[in-house]
Structure 1
Amino acid sequence: MVVSPLHGFIVDHLLSIFLALVNCPSIKMVGPAPFVDMGKKAKDLLTKDYNFDQKFTLSMLSSTGMGLTATGLKKDQIFFGDINTVYKSGNTTVDVKVDTYSNVSTKVTVNDAWPCSKAALSFRIPDHKSGKLDVQYLHPHAAIDSSIGLNPTPLLELSATIGSNELYLGGEVGFDTASASFTKYTAGINLNKPDFSAALLLTDKGQALKASYIHSVNPFTCVAAEMAHRFSTYENTFTIGSSHAVDPLSVVKTRFSDNGKAAMLCQREWRPKSLVTFSAEYDLKAANASPKMGLALALKP
Structure 2
Amino acid sequence: MGKGPGLYSDIGKKARDLLYKDYHSDQKFTITTYSPTGVAITSSGTKKGELFIADVNTQLKNKNITTDVKVDTNSNLFTTITVDEPAPGLKTIFSFKVPDQRSGKVEVQYLHDYAGISTSIGLTANPIVNFSGVLGTNVVSLGTDVSFDTKTGNFTKCNAGLSFSNADLIASLTLNDKGDTLNASYYHTVRPLTNTAVGGEVTHSFSTSENSITVGTQHSLDPLTTLKARVNNFGKASALIQHEWRPKSHFTISGEIDTKAVDKSAKFGLALALKP
Q: How does the TM-score come out when normalised to structure 2?
A: 0.96
Distance 1:141 1:88, change over 3 A: same
5+ long unaligned stretches in structure 2: none
Q: Determine if the alignment matches structure 1 residue 82 to structure 2 residue 55.
A: yes
Aligned mate of 2:138, from 152, 165, 168: 165
Offset at residue 63 of structure 1 (A): 6.0
* 1:278 aligned residue: 253
SS at 1:187's partner residue? strand
The answer (yes or no) to whether the contact 1:215–1:224 under 8 Å persists in 2 is: yes
Aligned mate of 1:249, from 212, 224, 236: 224
Give the share of equivalent positions with the same residue, in percent.
50
* 2:185 aligned residue: 212
Offset at residue 259 of structure 1 (A): 1.2
Distance 1:226 1:29, change over 3 A: closer
* 1:4 aligned residue: none
Aligned mate of 2:44, from 38, 58, 71: 71
* 1:13 aligned residue: none
Offset at residue 287 of structure 1 (A): 2.9
Q: Determine if the alignment matches structure 1 residue 266 to structure 2 residue 252.
A: no
CA distance in 1, matches of 2:55, 2:162: 37
CA distance in 2, matches of 1:287, 1:254: 18
* 1:130 aligned residue: 103
* 2:153 aligned residue: 180
Q: Determine if the alignment matches structure 1 residue 112 to structure 2 residue 116.
A: no
Structure with larger Rg? 1
Deviations 1:196-238 (A, max 9, x none): 1000111111112110001011122100000011122222111
Q: Determine if the alignment matches structure 1 residue 44 to structure 2 residue 23.
A: no
The answer (yes or no) to whether the contact 1:51–1:296 under 8 Å persists in 2 is: yes
Aligned mate of 1:289, from 251, 254, 264: 264
* 1:189 aligned residue: 162
The answer (yes or no) to whether the contact 1:65–1:89 under 8 Å persists in 2 is: no
Q: How many equivalent pairs are there? A: 274
Deviations 1:143-193 (A, max 9, x none): 100010101111110000011111111111111112111111111111111
* 1:20 aligned residue: none
CA distance in 2, matches of 1:210, 1:130: 30
Offset at residue 107 of structure 1 (A): 0.4
Richer in strand (by share): 2
Offset at residue 245 of structure 1 (A): 0.3
Distance 1:279 1:29, change over 3 A: closer
CA distance in 1, matches of 2:241, 2:43: 23
Q: Determine if the alignment matches structure 1 residue 231 to structure 2 residue 215.
A: no
Offset at residue 111 of structure 1 (A): 1.1
Deviations 1:40-68 (A, max 9, x none): 00000001011111100001234643111
Counterpart amino acid of residue 284 in structure 1: T
Deviations 1:227-272 (A, max 9, x none): 0111222221110000010111100000101111000000011111
Distance 1:142 1:126, change over 3 A: same
Deviations 1:73-128 (A, max 9, x none): 00001110000000000110000000011110000110112332100110011111
Counterpart amino acid of residue 290 in structure 1: S
Richer in helix (by share): 1
* 1:57 aligned residue: 30
The answer (yes or no) to whether the contact 1:29–1:139 under 8 Å persists in 2 is: no
Q: Determine if the alignment matches structure 1 residue 99 to structure 2 residue 72.
A: yes
CA distance in 1, matches of 2:275, 2:247: 8
